[in-house]
Structure 1
Amino acid sequence: MIDVVLKKGKEKAVLQRHPWVFSGAIEKVKGKPANGEIVRLLGSKDDFLAYGFYNAQSRVAVRLLEWDENTAVDEAWFRDKVRTAVAGRNHILEDGNTDTCRLVFSESDYLPGLIVDKYARHLAVQVLTSGIQNALPVIIDELNTLLKPLSIYDKSDASSRAHEGLETTNTLLSGTQPPELVMVKENGITYGINIAEGQKSGFYCDQRYNRKELASYTKGKKVLDCFSYTGGFTLNSLREGAASVTSVDSSALAIETLEENIRLNNFAGAEHTAIKSDVNVQLRKFRDDGEKFDVIVLDPPKYAPSRSALDRASRAYKDLNRLGMQLLNSGGLLATFSCSGAMDMETFKQVMAWAALDAGKQVQFVYQFHQPEDHPVRASFPEGEYLKGLLCRVW
C-alpha cells in the first residue's frame, strides 16, 4: 500500500476524524497511486493516521475511510458499511406510508462519494468519487443481496465527477429498466418518479418532513410554490385543504410530472395552476400584476457550491426572498430554503434580515426546517448539514 505523508502540523483534522485531506496538506507521496486507490496516510513522523481513497486530480486529495490500522479496507469493509447504512433507515419504511428515502449519504455514512436513494422497489445511485467507482461492483452486489430491487440505476451525471477524473453516466446497472414513472409513497402521498430523466437521483426526499410541516399552515390559504419540481410542497398543501396553489418551475418535465402527480392523488378538482417559467422572472411579473399570496415556498437550487461563491449566493438569496416578501399579504408566511452547505443557518438568517430591510418588511422567524434523519450529520463532518430553512411571518 502506498504511503501519503502529511506536512508537519496538518494532523489535527485527521485526528479529529474529519474525512477530507486537501492536497496542500500533503508533504509527499511515496509512489504513484492511481486515482481511487486506497492509500495509507501518515503523519509527519511517519506515524499511521488513517486509510483513504487517493486522487491526484482532486482538491480533496485523500478521502479518509478507516482510522484503525488493524482493520483492512477490503470487500467485507464496504459490505459492512452498506449494511449498516441501510439498517439505519429501516424504521422510516416500516409504517407503510413511505417507501422512498436515502439509504446511503456519502461521508455521513462513511462511504465518501456514494449516494443511494430508494424509490419503492428501485434504487438510484450517484457515484461522486473515483474510490467509490472502483468499489461499485461490490456495493451493487451488496445492495442486490440486501434489498433485491427490481433495478439499480446509475445517476452519476453530476459535473463534479470531472474533479475526480470521471465522466458522467446515466445508465442501468442491474435488473430491468425502470418504468418511465416509478410510483412511490411519501407521507401517504403518491408520486411518479422519473429516475432516468429527473433531477439529481430523481426526487428530493430530504424535504419529506418539511413538506408535511409546512402543509399544516396552508388550510384555506392561497399558496405559491416556487421551484416546485414535481410538486412536493404543492401536493401536501392541496391535501391539507389549501384554497389554491400556484406551482412555478422552469422544467417542462417537472411541470408535466407534477400535473400527473395531482391526478394520481385525485386532487384534479382542486384549484391549482402550474406555470413553466424562470422563478425570478415570474415573481417580478406577479409583483407588477399586483398578485398577493398567503403562503410562499422558495426552494431554489444550490446557489453556493463552495465558500468562494458565498458572497454571490448571498446576494441571490437576498434578492429572491425580497421578491417573495413583497408578494405576501400582511402576516403571510414565507417558507424559504437553502441547500448550500457553505451557507450556515446564522448567515442565512442575516441574509433574510437584509432581504426584509430591502423589502421594507418586518419578519419573524417562527420555525426552522432541517434535513431528515436519513440525511444524518456525522459529528466529525459538519459539512454534511446542508439543508436549512426558515418559516417567516412577514408584515
Structure 2
Amino acid sequence: MVSIILKKGKEKAVLQRHPWIFSGALQNVKGKPENGELVTVYAYDDEFLAYGYYNNESRVAIRVLSWDQEILPNEAWYRKRLQAAFNNRKHLINADNNTCRLVFSESDYLPGLIADKYADYLAVQILTSGMESLKPVILDELQRLTGAKGIFDKSDIGARAHDGLAATEGLVWGTLPPDFVEVKENGIKYNINIVEGQKSGFYCDQRFNRDLLANYAKGKRMLDCFSYSGGFSLNAMAKGAAEVVSVDSSALAIETLKKNIILNKFEGIKHEAIQSDVNKQLRIFKEAGEEFDIVVLDPPKYAPSRSALDRAARAYKDLNRLGMHVLKEGGLLATFSCSGAVDMETFKQIIAWAALDAGKEVQIIHQFTQPEDHPVRISFPEGEYLKGLLCRVY
C-alpha cells in the first residue's frame, strides 16, 4: 500500500478525527497511487495516523476511513458501514413515512456516498473516486438491505468534477422507476419524479420542520416560496390552512405539486400555484399590497463554498427583506439556509440585517435543524448544513 507522509503540524486534524486531509498537508507520496486507491497516512515522524483513499485532482487529497491500524477498510468493512447506517434508520420507516436518507456521506463514515430511499426505489449519489471504485459493492449491499426494486444513479452534480469524475445518471440496478413514485412523509402522499427531479428527487431533510410549522397554519394564509413538490404547502393544508400560495420557478415542480394536491384530496382548500422567480414574485406581492400570516423561504444553496459567502449573504438578506415586507403584523417567517458555509450565527446576523433594512422587529421563536437521518458527526461539523429560524415579525 502506498504511504503518504504529512508535513509537520498537519497531523492535528487527523488526530482529531476530521475525515479530510487537504493536498497542502502532504509532504511526501511514496509511490504513484491511482485516484480512489487506499493509502496509509503517516505523520512527519512516521507515526501511523490513518487509512484513507487518495485523489490527486481534488483539493481534499485524502478522505480518511479508519484511524485504527488493525482495521483495514475492505469490502466487508464497507458492507458493515452500510449495514450500520441502514439499521440506525429502520425505525424511521413506517406506514406514515417510507422515505428517508439512508447514507449521509462523511457523517455515516462513507465519504462521498449519499443514498435516499423513496418507497421501493433508491437514488444514489457517488461523488468521490474512492466510492466510485466500490460502486458494485455499494449497490449490491444497498439492494440486499432494502430489497429495492430499482436503484437510480443521480451523480450528475458538479461535486464529482472536484475528483476528476464525469457526471453520471441512469439506472444502475433493477427496474427503472416509473414517471412518478408515490412516497409518504408525515402521512402525506407525494408523487415524485426520481429520474427528472432535482438532486435525488425529493428533499426529506425538512420532514420534522414541515410538520412543526404546519401546527401554526390552521386558519392562516401561507406563502410557500421555493415550494418544489409542495412539502410545506401540503403539510399546512393537512393541518387546516385557510389558503396556501406556492411559488417555484420550475414548471416540473409546479406540475408535481398540483398532482400531489389531487393525490391527497386537498382540492377543496384554497390554493394558488405560481411559476415564477421568487424574488420577482415577492416584489409583485408587495406592490399589490398582498399580505400573508406565514411566509416560508426555503431557497437552494446560495453558498456552495466559503468563497461565495459574501455574495450569498447579500442574496439571503435581500430575499428575507422581501419576505418580511409581505407579512402581516406579527406574522411568522420560516426562513432556511442549506448552505454549509453559512453557520447559524452568521444566518442570524443576516436576518438581523434584513430586518433592519425592512424596518421590522424580529423575535426568534424556534430554531430549525436537519433530522436524524442527516446526522452531524461531531468531528465533522461541515455535515451540519441545514439551519432555519421561525421568526415573529413586527
Following the alignment from structure 2 to structure 1, what is the Cα–Cα distance between the partners of residues 303 and 145? 36
**SS of structure 1 residue aligned to 2:179:** coil
Whole-Å Cα distance in 1 between the matches of residues 20 and 194 of structure 2?
30
Aligned-partner Cα distance in 1 for 2:247–2:254: 8
Residue 72 of structure 1 aligns with which residue? 72
Which residue of structure 1 lines up, in the alignment, with residue 54 of structure 2? 54
Match of 1:255 in 2: 254
The match for 2:340 is 341
- Is 1:45 aligned to 2:45, yes or no? yes
How far is 1:266 from its partner?
0.2
- For 1:50 and 1:7, how far apart are their aligned partners in 2? 15
C-alpha distance in 2, partners of 1:345/1:91?
29
Cα deviations by residue, 1:79-118 (Å, 9 ceiling, x for unpaired): 0000000000011114x21000000000000000000000
Q: Which one-letter code corresponds to 1:40 in the other structure?
A: T
**CA positional deviation for 1:387:** 0.2
1:101 aligns with 100
Give the structure 2 partner of residue 81 of structure 1: 81
- Post-superposition offset of 1:208: 0.2
Residue identity opposite 1:341 in structure 2: G
For 2:28, give the aligned amino acid. Answer: K
Cα distance in 1 between the residues matched to 2:267 and 2:4: 60
Letter aligned with residue 11 of structure 2:
E
Distance 2:147 2:223 in 1: 40
CA distance in 1, matches of 2:188, 2:28: 54
Structure 2 residue ranges without an equivalent (≥5): none
1:320-354, Cα deviation, whole Å (9 max, x unpaired): 00000010000000000000111111111011000
The aligned counterpart of 1:236 is 235
3-state DSSP of counterpart to 1:295: strand
Cα deviation, residue 289, structure 1 = 1.1
Amino acid across the alignment from 2:372? E
1:274 aligns with 2:267: no
- Matched with 1:2 is 2
In the aligned structure 1, how far is the partner of 2:365 from the partner of 2:118? 33
Deviation of 1:56 after TM superposition, in Å, equals 0.4
Corresponding residue SS for 1:390: strand
Q: Which residue number in structure 1 is paired with residue 153 of structure 2?
A: 154
SS in 2 for 1:254: helix
1:1-395 aligned at under 5 Å gives the runs 1-94=1-94, 96-395=95-394
Structure 1 residue 26: Cα displacement: 0.7
Q: CA deviation at 1:148?
A: 1.2
Identity of aligned residues (%): 68
TM-score where L is the length of structure 1: 0.99
The SS at the match of 1:169 is coil
Task: Name the stretch that deviates more: 384-393 or 23-32.
Answer: 23-32
The TM-score, its normalising length taken from structure 2, stands at 0.99
Distance (whole Å) between structure 2 residues aligned to residue 69 and residue 314 of structure 1: 43
